[in-house]
Structure 1
């Protein structure tokens, strides 16, 4: 087996991520035949089959599944190389990549990024909006906002105040005078992840009896609550900013928050600047 050409790895990774040659080609901005040729060239260089071909498209082999995390690591390191080289270490300019949950990426980060860009116009940002914990030791991102404790070594982690999560509805609910407990109102729950209802049970809270919508996407859950589909969970400070109305305020789930950076990255001025600004702002927004 020879060392593969690095410029062939994005095609393999894109096909694995998007499931087809055509979708990978769109993601990479290439023609489909180009992606196919790159996959074939990578297979030839590695001396192994990565996909089986059929009328339904490409099916990854076991070897492809084994190589996927290595390919992702190579691409993350290459992206980190570009970010580090994008500016001098002591200059407030260049790229800073932040990874965080989809809710924080969509509702909390945008105004903070705009404020930081106003104060440091040379900064450029990348946001990895994912509910998975990206590996900062492999430089998948420069800074992470996490709701689970970091476990890798060589990380600088600051514990922020807990993020309170509570029940909200689109309009005020006068459950006391109407005599209708919130459990009898339409409810927005998760679907296959099956976290919300077991968490209520573990807290000793009676379960809702009318599930109006099941969805695992937290952004879609918030959108459904705002549209009046039903009562559901949302970060308390975010729900208040969105004009939602608190339901059963005694029901609250404290969610731990960490702000994390690799210790080597923390020495770079632009990353240190963003880290410090996030540390100051997030304690008031989450």
Structure 2
């Protein structure tokens, strides 16, 4: 066979593989960090290229056809081979040197990044990482950072983004504080609660009242100008704090308050398009994409 004449689109094969493993286009799109229509077009293009139907719709899910099942074994083997190539290539990471700047919110910088950077030190000790801990949106186009962890999808054409997780936040307090405070069983009970404030407390109050929580300035006896300090104030028993559920559930000194109240927000990895040709940035990007979901999900 003349291998120079063989053409194959691995993106289409990967779209098929992940869709088969996840059981639906929507779940596969989330896993791959792409839109459902884009994923659907890739699967359809592969079906057209091969001249077979790979999936049948059953209810809200998808099941493999006979042809899809036969192809699945081959594509899974290709996926395992691709992973092996990646592992082999990662051996070269020891030789890659240079600086990579990561910007993330203050709470993510102090909670999520330390264990990830510990892994990076083993993988690529020649890479120096600068953490820009800030709740402000840094401009990646002006190289204020190489990689950003954001809670909004990038809308600039020169940036690429990958949805890596869905995070959830909630109220937390120490058992001692809850024993001393008025009982909090419903959102209405927050009218008598003590809550740790945030730097932009007017917007914080507006966000809470917009969700039907009857709070005023009087509910905030302490205001912290950074989220990590806000969290430490809650851990010290000064009132209710708001933070990621993954962080709160892992803290034995804190207790969830009003579990039905949940703040949902996506977690995106964002970088300039030159990421694709920058080995050291790519190594950090891949490690973040691989490890962030497990750390975020409680």
What TM-score results when the alignment is normalised by the length of structure 1? 0.63
Question: 1:207: how far off?
Answer: 2.4
Asked whether the 8 Å contact 2:169–2:263 carries over to 1, the reply is: yes
Q: Is the 8 A contact 1:97 1:142 kept in 2?
A: yes
Return the alpha-carbon distance in structure 2 between the equivalents of residues 161 and 253 of structure 1. 14
Q: Which residue of 1 aligns with 2:265?
A: 255
User: Which is strand-richer, 1 or 2?
Assistant: 1
Q: Is the CA contact 1:182–1:247 (under 8 Å) kept in the aligned structure 2?
A: no
- Name 2:222's counterpart in structure 1: 213
Q: Deviations over 1:38-90 (max 9, x none)?
A: xxxxxxxxxxxxxxxxxxxxxxxxxxxxxxxxxxxxxxxxxxxxxxxxxx999
- The equivalences for 1:5-84 within 5 A come to none
Aligned counterparts of 2:202 and 2:221: Cα–Cα separation in 1: 15
Query: Pick from 160, 164, 188: which aligns with 1:156?
Result: 160
Structure 1 counterpart SS, 2:175: coil
Could you say if the C-alpha distance between residues 284 and 270 of structure 1 is closer, same or farther in structure 2, counting changes exceeding 3 Å?
same
Task: For 1:241 and 1:160, locate their aligned partners in 2 and report how far apart those are by CA, in whole Å.
Answer: 20
Query: 1:92 maps to which residue?
Result: 96
TM-aligned CA deviation for residue 276 of structure 1 = 0.9
Is the 1:166–1:252 Cα contact (8 Å) retained in structure 2? yes
Match among 102, 115, 121 for residue 117 of structure 1: 121
1:276 to 280, 286, 290: 286
Root-mean-square deviation (CA, aligned residues, Å) is 2.6
The alpha-carbon distance between structure 1 residues 101 and 191, as it changes in their structure 2 partners (threshold 3 A), is closer
Give unmatched runs, 5+ long, in structure 2: 1-91
Work out the CA distance in 1 between the residues paired with 2:176 and 2:271: 41
Among 186, 193, 202, which residue is 1:194 paired with?
202
Contact 2:147 2:270 in 1 (8 A): yes
Any conservation in 1 of the 2:101–2:131 contact (CA below 8 Å)? Answer: yes
SS at structure 2 position matched to 1:278: helix
1:233 aligned onto 2:242: yes
Residue 275 of structure 2, aligned match among 248, 261, 265: 265
- Paired residue for 1:68? none
> Measured at CA, do residues 278 and 198 of structure 1 come closer, stay the same or move farther in structure 2, by a change above 3 Å?
same
Structure 1 unaligned blocks of 5 or more? 1-87
Report deviation, 1:259: 0.3
Q: Kindly provide the CA deviation profile for residues 103-145 of structure 1, in whole angstroms up to 9, marking residues without a partner as x.
A: 1111210111011111222221111111111111111111110
Shift of 1:91: 4.7
| 2:109–2:133 CA contact under 8 A, matched in 1 | yes
TM-score (norm 2): 0.60
Give the C-alpha shift of residue 267 in structure 1. 1.9
Residues 121-132 of structure 1 correspond to what in structure 2 (within 5 A)?
121-132=125-136
> As a proportion of its length, which structure holds more helix?
2
